[in-house]
Amino acid sequence: MSRLKVVRGMKDILPVEAPRWHHVEDNARRVFEAYGYQEMRTPVLEHTELFRRSIGEATDIVEKEMYTFDDRKGRSLSLRPEATASCVRASVENALARGGDGLRVWYAGPMFRYEKMQKERYRQFYQLGAEVYGLEGAAADAEIILVTARLWRTLGLANVSLELNSLGTRDEQAAYRAHLREYLQDRSDALDDDSRRRLQTNPLRVLDSKNPQLQELIDAAPTPLDSLGEASRAHFDEVVATLHACGVALRTNPRLVRGLDYYTRTVFEWVSGDLGAQSAICGGGRYDRLFAEIGGPDTPAVGFSAGIERIVAVMQAGGVAVAAAAPQLYLAAVGEAPCRGAHALAERLRDELPDVRMVVDAAGGGFRPKLKRADRSGALLALVLGDDELAAGNIQIKTLRGEIQEQVALGDAAARIRTLLRPGAPD
């Protein structure tokens, strides 16, 4: 019988890798909560129409990359390719964003896109992100970017930079789209087949082309900044000024349009110098019309998402070390009666020392192999329980990185362990 393997495009997160993921997720949670964001969890499965309306029919995500199928009642469902549309749908459905105070939410979880395999890009991938609903001023845009900047500092990511642009309002986008379409139509003979198709559906997608033969044409194309009105220009300038006042360095990139149709005004990306061509680790922007697109009231909104795989890769490339959480105690029992009572003793100690990490040796063998396993585990203390200790009502406590070895009454074990684990305790 052939051996089964992981589905192509999916990736196992193995125990040796998990500490880095925990480090990212735990620090992200702390940063989000420090800014007043609350967690939102949405289903991985949504009605396909949600993404058609929000992301856009003419995007590669909807046209080529979604995992879409009909359920047993013939309803078209899709695995979520991103989380913003789901968070907005949940906010509309549950009337969460009413009032003028603003709603701040964050999320983390798996997304799904059937796309070309590339470094640190998978068909099931993980994102974390944050959204602000109900606030239309430039301060909300700046805050979202400041959250990301603090997250990178907290994680120790040094070689990252911010790129910023503005797409303007819907009317300004329409004017820009017409200007861009005219420019591209005049040069249609130089376009490839995919770009000619995109020219008819959404000319902004032509700017996403990775065809090197089109880069000179794209570089000379008009930019969204050329079509901004006075209010949108003032909004963009205020975002930039606020970020500068907070010490955040940035580069205006007039070619930055992002891959989703729902963006308005501010768009941004954080890129890493450690990832090569696939350098983006985070992107976002303002999407004031998305609530209305999926049937809700007009509600200003801004947010971002970041790929956890990409963040972990940047941490590794930058030499950010994350140590696995080793056990602090290793309980080794030898003998029929001690082995039978070891788990009961461990449960009692866990009740008395709820924050302490402990492993019970469940393998066979004598004290020597068990103590070797205790040493390899990285534990600070070995708890040794044999027939003699059990008969005397004691436990032997041995420091694995020092010289202490002593017999302690079982009733006093928790207090002694707590003392030995205290920072600055004698070796």
pLDDT digits (tens, 9 = 90+) for 120-162: 678 999 999 999 999 999 999 999 999 999 999 999 998 899 9
Helices 138-155 + 18-34 axis angle, to 10? 140
> What's the confidence (pLDDT) of residue 425?
61
**pLDDT value at residue 119:** 66
pLDDT (tens digit per residue) in 341-392: 899 999 999 999 999 999 999 787 888 899 899 999 999 999 999 999 999 9
pLDDT tier, 402 (very low <50, low <70, confident <90, very high otherwise): confident
Q: Which domains does the chain have, with CATH numbers?
A: 18-168+228-317 (3.30.930.10), 329-421 (3.40.50.800)
Contacts for 64 with CB less than 8 Å, ≥ 6 apart = 114, 115
Residue 427 has pLDDT above 60, yes or no: no
Our measurement of the distance from residue 238's CA atom to the centroid of its chain's CA atoms, rounded to an integer in Å, reads 28
Distance of alpha carbon 109 from alpha carbon 339, whole angstroms: 40
Predicted confidence band of residue 424 (pLDDT cuts 50, 70, 90) = low
Q: Which two tokens stand for residue 385?
A: 């329980």
Per-residue pLDDT tens digits for 81-126: 999 999 999 999 999 987 677 899 999 999 999 988 776 678 999 9
Is a pLDDT exceeding 80 seen at residue 25?
A: yes
Q: Do 77 and 43 touch, CB atoms closer than 8 A? A: no
Inter-residue contact 126 to 148 (CB < 8 Å): no
Q: Are 97 and 106 in contact (CB under 8 A)?
A: no
The model's pTM: 0.86
Q: For every residue of 293-310, which 3-state class applies, written as one string?
A: HCCCCCCCEEEEEEEHHH
pLDDT for 325 equals: 84
pLDDT of residue 259: 62
Contacts of 243 (CB under 8 A, 6+ apart): 142, 145, 146, 162, 164, 250
User: Which pLDDT score, from 0 to 100, does residue 101 have?
Assistant: 79
The tens digit of pLDDT for each residue in 287-333 reads 998 999 999 999 999 999 999 999 999 999 888 888 888 899 999 99
- CB count within 10 Å of CB 158 equals 14
Pairing between β-strand 405-409 and β-strand 394-399 as defined by DSSP bridges = antiparallel
